[in-house]
Amino acid sequence: MIQPAEFTISAWSHLVDLVVDPPQPKDPIEALKAAQSGKTPPTLRVPLVFTGIYGGPIHLTIEVLDHEPDTVAPGWEDVADVSLVIPEGKVHFNGPTGSDSHEVGFMSAAEAGSYRARLHAVGRDLDYDVVVEESKERHLVQFWKAPFANTIVLANASSVSKSLPRFVAMWQSNL
């Protein structure tokens, strides 16, 4: 299961990715043949965290819930619920194209499936579209298992958040 976590991670191109590496056959020859014949599931890479800064550190908190929260957590400018399917595998958050990676657990076959992610952000407009050295932007991602559903924007105070629904539709169309 994804484990709760709190860390600083470097964004690039306004993004931090959720990455799930599928388990591989233990025998290296079987693993190679499975990969060559397309029998190995591909690595999942979802640009789940959409930042205001172009690049640099953000503060990211990960929470895993039993069910949809009863209320929206206070203190966040932007809040949106999105759906994604998380397969079996090692789960981590990566700064795209960089060297920053944080592992947050392993999704078993029983745990894999459709999830809802509530994306919270504050500070997206502070250093919009620039590379920063210090973090002013915070994000919280809450996961709970739920059937696939439409994207719902619960708060969109920042100007950046206006672009989120179309962006989510883009990456969902490629999953």
Where does this chain bind other proteins (CB under 8 A)? Answer: 10, 12-15, 17, 19, 21, 24, 28-29, 31-33, 35-37, 40, 42-43, 45, 47, 50, 54-55, 94-101, 128-131, 150-156, 159-160, 162-174
* Contact (Cβ atoms closer than 8 angstroms) between residue 129 and residue 55: no
Residue 110 or 121 with smaller CB distance to other proteins: 121
Question: Exposed (0-12), middle (13-18) or buried (19+): which is 18, by Cβ within 10 Å?
Answer: buried
Question: Which contacts of 103-109 are long-range, i.e. CB under 8 A and separated by 24 or more positions?
Answer: 104/2, 104/3, 104/5, 104/62, 105/1, 105/2, 105/3, 106/1, 107/1, 107/2, 107/20, 108/1
Residue 50 or 66 with smaller CB distance to other proteins: 50
Residue 66 or 156 with smaller CB distance to other proteins: 156
Residue 47 or 105 with smaller CB distance to other proteins: 47
Taking the complex as a whole, the smallest distance from the CB of residue 109 to other proteins amounts, in Å, to: 19
Taking the complex as a whole, the smallest distance from the CB of residue 123 to other proteins amounts, in Å, to: 15
Taking the complex as a whole, the smallest distance from the CB of residue 21 to other proteins amounts, in Å, to: 8
Which candidate, 145, 139, 143, 144, places its Cα nearest to that of 161? Answer: 139
Taking the complex as a whole, the smallest distance from the CB of residue 11 to other proteins amounts, in Å, to: 10
The length of the chain, given as a count of residues: 175
